[in-house]
Amino acid sequence: MKDFYVSRTGRDAALIARGDPVVYGEGRYVDALDEARLRRYEQDGFLVLPDVFDADEIEALRQEAVALEHDPDVREGEEIIREPGGTALRSIFRVHELGQRLADLPRDPRLLDVARQILGSEVYIHQSRVNMKPALDGKEFYWHSDFETWHVEDGMPAMRALSCSVLLTDNTPFNGPLTLIPGSHRQFVACIGETPENHYRTSLRRQEVGVPDPVSLRLLAEKGGLHAVTAAAGSVVFFDCNTLHSSGGNLSPWPRSNVFMVYNSVENRLEAPFHGMQPRPEHIAARRSIEALTPLRAVA
């Protein structure tokens, strides 16, 4: 397969114009977002939908995430990522297969139909996680494009995937809200550096390889600005796989936890990772459980 997005090959950084659509099929595959919201997503590379879930729904999801965090089996499992230099929990991966309500969440039509509309096809879950960002201790996630990692390390062919983040707690200016660069999804930042063996064992704690260089970051930020998603629990952020994003540390005395589900098009299934790397484990990059999701229908 021709690699249109070459990165981490030891050569200099580069900006490569995106060759893939942002919204597939003109957004006509299913009817979920109205035209204005679809255009906003296409232009910025992300979309914030306030108050999608009510307080009871979010509290139930948040409690399930907390229960997983304290489940002794989960705490010893490979899905757990701890904060760099500490023991506090940073992320729990594969939550859509560990929880009950978290298992139904990706199939909720309020989320699934938006993903099907934008990606113009049936979709499956490439990856899910809860980022706990614990009180006073949650560390930053440095600037990156998810697609750069999923392309190089997971062999994701094209930019036909998106992340859906459901805010389980209020995201404020003080607790490390997700921050994105509007418009950055249209340029692929080829990164400097070579990928270490089993890179995910360090990158998920603190990512230093596969991150954009300061010049490219500054150029894209000067063009699009920075947008921190400060919104109430129950809000949802959809963002394109290639939109540059980060989040700061959490110095507030309250946790900031968000659940992330990555929808990939069934037309964009993972191939072999580039540069001969070993595939990442199933709980980070699904290769087996990749059947198209069926929408959860509300019980009549």
Q: How far is the CB of 239 from Fe ion (least distance, A)?
A: 9
Q: How far is the CB of 225 from Fe ion (least distance, A)?
A: 19
Tell me which residues in 73-132 interact with ligand 6CS (CB under 6 A): 127, 129
Q: For residues 158 and 279, give the distance between their C-alpha atoms in angstroms, rounded to a whole number.
A: 17
Q: Quick one: 121 or 242, whose CB is closer to Fe ion?
A: 242
Q: Quick one: 83 or 146, whose CB is closer to Fe ion?
A: 146
**Cβ neighbour number for residue 155 with a 10 Å cutoff:** 20
Residue 44 CA: distances (Å) to CA of 136, 152, 165, 185 = 31, 24, 16, 8
- Tell whether residue 146 is a contact of Fe ion (CB under 5 A): yes
Query: How many residues at the interface with ligand 6CS, by CB under 6 A?
Result: 10
- The answer to whether 288 and 105 are in contact (CB under 8 A) is no
Angle formed at CA 144 by CA 15 and CA 286, multiple of 5 degrees:
110
The pair phi, psi for residue 14, each rounded to 5°, is -155, 155
- State the residue number with the nearest CB to Fe ion: 146
- Tell whether residue 153 is a contact of Fe ion (CB under 5 A): no
- Tell whether residue 149 is a contact of ligand 6CS (CB under 6 A): yes
Q: Quick one: 195 or 216, whose CB is closer to ligand 6CS?
A: 195
Q: Which stretch binds ligand 6CS (CB under 6 A): 55-63, 70-78, 114-122, 199-207?
A: 199-207
Q: For residue 112, what is the enclosing H or E element?
A: helix 109-119
Q: Quick one: 122 or 146, whose CB is closer to ligand 6CS?
A: 146
Residues with Cβ within 8 Å of residue 104, at least 6 apart in sequence: 296
- Tell whether residue 108 is a contact of Fe ion (CB under 5 A): no
Q: How far is the CB of 63 from ligand 6CS (least distance, A)?
A: 23
Q: How far is the CB of 207 from ligand 6CS (least distance, A)?
A: 5
Amino acid at site 252:
S
Identify how many contiguous H helices and E strands the chain contains and give both numbers.
Answer: 9, 13
Of 183, 229, 261, nearest to 50 (Cα)? 229
Q: How far is the CB of 165 from Fe ion (least distance, A)?
A: 10
User: From the list 128, 179, 195, 207, which residue makes contact with ligand 6CS (rule: CB under 6 A)?
Assistant: 207
Q: How far is the CB of 150 from ligand 6CS (least distance, A)?
A: 6
Q: What is the DSSP string of 62-73?
A: HHHHHHHHH-HH
Q: How far is the CB of 211 from Fe ion (least distance, A)?
A: 11
Q: What is the DSSP string of 192-218?
A: PS-PPTTTHHHHTTS--SS---HHHHH
Tell me which residues in 279-298 interact with ligand 6CS (CB under 6 A): 284
- Tell whether residue 227 is a contact of ligand 6CS (CB under 6 A): no
Q: Which stretches of the chain bind ligand 6CS, using CB under 6 A?
A: 127, 129, 141, 144, 146, 149, 203-204, 207, 284
